[in-house]
């Protein structure tokens, strides 16, 4: 109890630094959380807009939400350190349904996104990739182990794996 009181009161020398770090982490988490709460356009006046169709509803929604949070965190950090080009993201929920994903992907391409990013799942990626390929736009970081995205080599697909 004494240590907890000291942490709150800041009487331990290292506690003030830790308190500040925790406050910063919570503030950044809140910014990302609020940005992911409402799908659609994030930073719509950005110089470069990326498009995402992913699962944000249903039993697999955590996958899409976490993917979006990661993308937004990276974009926020980029925009904080770089005036130009600024990055934005438009996200639509496909509910892990390939038909909805295909419609979302067509919509994103018609809206003129620079690239598709953060697809979640093989069934949806298999419908989105041909549309990206036909539009000659990059297909970046799909969350799937599907081999059709790695072999044969395709110049518009950017895969990464942990």
**pLDDT per residue of the chain (162 residues) written in tens, 0 to 9:** 444 444 344 444 544 455 445 445 555 544 444 444 457 889 989 999 999 999 999 999 999 999 999 999 999 999 999 989 999 999 999 999 999 999 999 999 999 999 999 999 999 999 999 999 999 999 998 888 887 777 888 888 877 765
Contact 78, 37 (CB under 8 A): no
Peptide bond into 152 cis (omega under 30): yes
Instruction: Quote the pLDDT of residue 8.
Output: 44
State the CB neighbour count (10 A cutoff) for residue 147.
Answer: 9
Q: What global pTM score does this model have?
A: 0.75
Instruction: Quote the pLDDT of residue 41.
Output: 87
Instruction: Quote the pLDDT of residue 155.
Output: 81
Instruction: Quote the pLDDT of residue 52.
Output: 97
């Amino acid at each position: 109890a004494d240590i907890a009181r000291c942490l709150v009161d800041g009487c331990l020398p290292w506690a003030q630094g830790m308190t500040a770090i925790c406050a910063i982490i919570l503030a950044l988490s809140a910014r990302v959380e609020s940005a992911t709460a409402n799908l659609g356009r994030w930073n719509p006046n950005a110089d470069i807009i990326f498009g995402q169709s992913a699962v944000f509803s249903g039993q697999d929604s955590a996958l899409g939400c976490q993917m979006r949070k990661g993308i937004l965190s990276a974009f926020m950090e980029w925009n904080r350190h770089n005036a130009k080009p600024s990055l934005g993201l438009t996200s639509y929920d496909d509910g892990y349904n390939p038909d909805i994903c295909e419609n979302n992907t067509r919509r994103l391409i018609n809206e003129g996104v620079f690239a598709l990013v953060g697809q979640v799942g093989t069934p949806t990626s298999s419908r989105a990739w041909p549309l990206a390929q036909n539009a000659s736009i990059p297909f970046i970081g799909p969350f799937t182990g599907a081999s059709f995205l790695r072999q044969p080599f395709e110049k518009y697909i950017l895969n990464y794996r942990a």
